Structure 1
Amino acid sequence: MSPDSPQPPRAGGVAVVSGAASGIGAAVVAMLAAHGWRVGGLDLLASAGCDMSVAVDVTDAAAVAAAVEAIRGELGPVDAAVSVAGHYAMAPVSDITLEQWTRMLRVHLGGLRNLSRSVLPAMVDRGAGSIVAITSELAVGGGDGDAHYAAAKGAIIGFVRSLAAEVAPRDVRVNAVAPGPTDTPLLAPDSPWRAAEYLETLPIRRLGSPEEVARCVAWLIEEGTFCVGEILNPNAGAVI
């Protein structure tokens, strides 16, 4: 690393993780905590393993801002933020109601926007920080019955790349991780993504694990100092 290269957030810094109570979010919390980070978790439910857990709806911009400010006051300046909060549902386009469409966008894209706006001013002022968003391989490849989910996740990629270009000159890095189907409670036991016929189409013949996705997130935060607007794709070869 050259003297002029941006420095990664320090181990033992403070991270905020949305969707921290389960699945990929919980794995990110555990991974960062194991690396020495102090973690503030945002979720509708209590988040185990966090140094501070705040119950919040990520679609509520004012509530997210207040939660981040409370974490900052308790744990210190926020060095990294990870937007994981989301939900998954399958439906043909003709069956997606306006309410379902809007909610998908508000949780995924709106949640990322609200978290980013809450942490960015201080990061920009300090000239350091990292934001990582969880998108999906469906944002790239699409999927039958996944239009509203894929649209929301695709919008995240556009947001990440645009925000990355905006704040990179201040040494704030914005990137994303686009997992393939991952073994979390979001995938019901009868989900087609768990079917043997689907798994046989994947080069590694299995779902990803939340821990594998969390490893990508931690790498982007701690080591990926040359990554700006990048999308890592831990998708078992579903999209190559």
Structure 2
Amino acid sequence: MRERVALVTGAASGIGAAMVRELAGRGWRTAALDLVPAEDADHTVGVDVAVPEQVTAAVRRIERELGPIEAALCAAGHYAIVPVSDVAWADWLRMLRVHLGGVVNVCRSVTPGMVERGRGSVVAVSSDLAIGGSDGEAHYATAKGAVIGLVRSLAAELAPSGVRVNAVAPGPTDTPMLPPDSPWRRPAYLQTLPTGRLTSPEEVAFAAAYLVEDATFCAGEVLSPNSGAVI
């Protein structure tokens, strides 16, 4: 059986690493784009996803060495809690370049081949903050909201060609991105969640894999594995 190739950005840790493990368990060969090596991936290329030329070169290399990319999962990102009045302009731009620009750069590099082959799937990681907003997280929520707009627009454009574009919008997730003193880890917050706990990266990865493999009827959808944080 032909091996399928999946590209995962931000694959060295957290949600991206969980995506690599989930897809590998389903028989995919995995290629990682990250600033540091991704231990669980079959192939890693050191890339800043905010730089278009680096992403394009990495995709060409991966397809040359592993084969055509049939799924691209965009999990690269960073996070900070900063009052909007204190966010430097450079930090606004970096947040947008990594989260939104990273998805754009991957899509520009992988979707032409997918369209030519008549199949493919892209899943971008947004956030429930893109839907509900949050005090002190305006630049992060803005970037993640832009990702949803991009996903829905690309889905409308590419679905007729057989390429599906969707998103997952997790809530606070139990990864190193949330430090031990994060307000999202406090018992008072966890008690407000219907499940009473943070979402696990494995649960987000499962939702993403579902969109890739099983949800062939989904295009432009946003799944929210968020422990009920936003209903």
The corresponding residue for 2:25 is 34
Amino acid at match of 2:21: A
1:128-207 → structure 2 map (5 Å cutoff):
128-207=119-198
- Residue 32 of structure 2 corresponds to residue 20 of structure 1: no
| 1:14/1:39 contact within 8 Å kept | yes
Q: Distance in 2 between matches of 1:134 and 1:42?
A: 15
Q: Distance in 1 between matches of 2:106 and 2:39?
A: 20
- Residue 221 of structure 2 corresponds to residue 230 of structure 1: yes
The corresponding residue for 2:63 is 72
| 1:18/1:41 contact within 8 Å kept | yes
Q: 1:183-204, CA deviations, whole angstroms, 9 ceiling, x for partnerless residues? A: 0010011000000010000000
The corresponding residue for 1:210 is 201
| 1:11/1:35 contact within 8 Å kept | no
Q: State the identity %.
A: 62
The corresponding residue for 2:54 is 63
Q: Secondary structure at the match of 1:79?
A: strand
Amino acid at match of 1:52: H
Q: 1:44-83, CA deviations, whole angstroms, 9 ceiling, x for partnerless residues? A: 0001111110000001100000001111011101100000
Q: Secondary structure at the match of 2:80?
A: coil
| 1:11/1:36 contact within 8 Å kept | no
| 1:11/1:222 contact within 8 Å kept | no
Unaligned runs of 5+ in 2: none
Q: Tell me the CA shift for residue 12 of structure 1.
A: 3.5
Amino acid at match of 1:16: L
TM-score with structure 2 setting the length: 0.99
Q: 1:94-142, CA deviations, whole angstroms, 9 ceiling, x for partnerless residues? A: 0000011000000000000000101011000011000000000000000
Give the superposed CA RMSD.
0.9
Q: 1:157-186, CA deviations, whole angstroms, 9 ceiling, x for partnerless residues? A: 000000000000001000000000000010
TM-score with structure 1 setting the length: 0.95
